[in-house]
């Protein structure tokens, strides 16, 4: 018999949904995925069923790199949905999004069918990102699709991507959340530290199921072991990212001090004074 979590326990109540295991456990549930897709995509006819399909997209040739998605499913109308969680900012991430969706689109080609007329089914890419997308203004929800510059018309709606940025939701209160997607992103960003029932269940009853799936006391011993491995990996990556940011800031401060030292030397200030004022070694100042 599984024990029930209570508020006096020091241990977390819910899994961290930003870990690989936690994310796939939550969104790998068909009911949760359906509810989320309906809230995000707002289709004319609500999605009633999804089928999880192979997450591997092999290369066209054995020499070509394949793709492994976090989650991949197909709706009853044939449209395909790729769902990814990314914790670490990545160079050329916008290119990665385009590559993922393009590979899925290209896989629809009917090999050997000379009468195939290029009719495509929609592909949606949904990217939860635990950072702000580099090179763009911070935006909680960003919708990306092909449009005609001159008129703003949608050129083709068979390829669409969404980026959902989580960081700002750690600074929000529940009262700041107004939309269904706000509810999802708030819960994902804060679930690991929650000690009460997951909020917004009145507005969206699916969050009761999310809570049941996510409670640590409801996990089997095998699931708990897999989760701990995933959590260790997540924390290690988080530590590496913090160190990289700290090193970047330190490098930036050193470059700034060196620039100031150059300016002081141009003004005729002696090396010893510059070294003492800016915290540089005498050798560093003399080398400028």
Domain shared by 84 and 149, yes or no: yes
Cβ atoms of 92 and 86 within 8 Å: the answer is no
- Under 8 Å CB-to-CB from 142, ≥6 apart: which residues? 133, 136, 162, 163, 164, 165
Cβ atoms of 215 and 221 within 8 Å: the answer is no
At 6 the pLDDT is 62
pTM value is 0.78
As a whole number, mean pLDDT of residues 108-132 equals 89
Task: Tell me whether residue 4 is in a domain.
Answer: no
Domain shared by 31 and 158, yes or no: yes
Domain shared by 108 and 236, yes or no: no
At 64 the pLDDT is 44
Tell me the H-state helices in 43-201.
93-106, 180-190
Domain shared by 148 and 71, yes or no: yes
pLDDT tops 50 at residue 63: no
Select from 218, 249, 266 the last residue of a domain. 218
pLDDT tops 80 at residue 225: yes
Domain shared by 136 and 274, yes or no: no
pLDDT tops 60 at residue 261: yes
pLDDT tops 90 at residue 33: yes
Cβ atoms of 183 and 207 within 8 Å: the answer is yes
- Full residue range of the structural domain in which residue 182 is found: 20-218
Looking at the structure of the chain, the number of domains it has is: 2
Domain shared by 132 and 228, yes or no: no
pLDDT tops 70 at residue 22: yes
How far is 241 from 246, CA to CA, in rounded Å? Answer: 9
At 210 the pLDDT is 98
Domain shared by 163 and 209, yes or no: yes
Q: What is the pLDDT of residues 203-221, one digit of tens each?
A: 999 999 999 999 999 999 9
């Amino acid at each position: 018999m599984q024990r029930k979590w209570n508020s006096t326990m020091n241990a977390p109540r819910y899994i961290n949904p930003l870990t690989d295991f936690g994310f796939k456990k939550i969104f790998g549930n068909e009911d949760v995925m359906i509810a989320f897709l309906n809230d995000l995509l707002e289709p004319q006819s609500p999605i009633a069923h999804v089928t999880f399909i192979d997450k591997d997209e092999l290369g066209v040739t054995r020499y070509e790199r394949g793709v492994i998605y976090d989650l991949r499913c197909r709706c009853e109308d044939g449209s395909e949905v790729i769902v990814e969680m990314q914790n670490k900012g990545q160079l050329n991430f916008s290119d990665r999004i385009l590559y993922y969706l393009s590979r899925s689109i290209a896989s629809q080609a009917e090999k050997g069918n000379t009468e195939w007329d290029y009719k495509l089914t929609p592909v949606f890419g949904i990217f939860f990102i635990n950072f702000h997308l580099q090179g763009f203004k911070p935006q909680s929800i960003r919708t990306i699709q092909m449009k005609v510059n001159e008129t703003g018309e949608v050129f083709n709606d068979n390829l669409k991507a969404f980026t959902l940025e989580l960081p700002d939701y750690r600074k929000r209160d529940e009262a700041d959340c107004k939309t269904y997607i706000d509810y999802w992103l708030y819960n994902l960003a804060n679930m690991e530290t929650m000690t009460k029932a997951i909020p917004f269940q009145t507005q969206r009853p699916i969050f009761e199921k999310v809570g049941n799936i996510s409670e640590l006391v409801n996990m089997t011993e095998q699931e708990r072991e897999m989760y701990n491995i995933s959590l260790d990996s997540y924390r290690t990556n988080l530590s590496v990212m913090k160190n990289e940011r700290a090193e970047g800031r330190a490098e930036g401060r050193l470059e700034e001090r060196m620039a100031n030292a150059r300016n002081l030397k141009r003004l005729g200030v002696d090396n010893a004074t510059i070294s003492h004022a800016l915290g540089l070694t005498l050798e560093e100042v003399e080398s400028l």
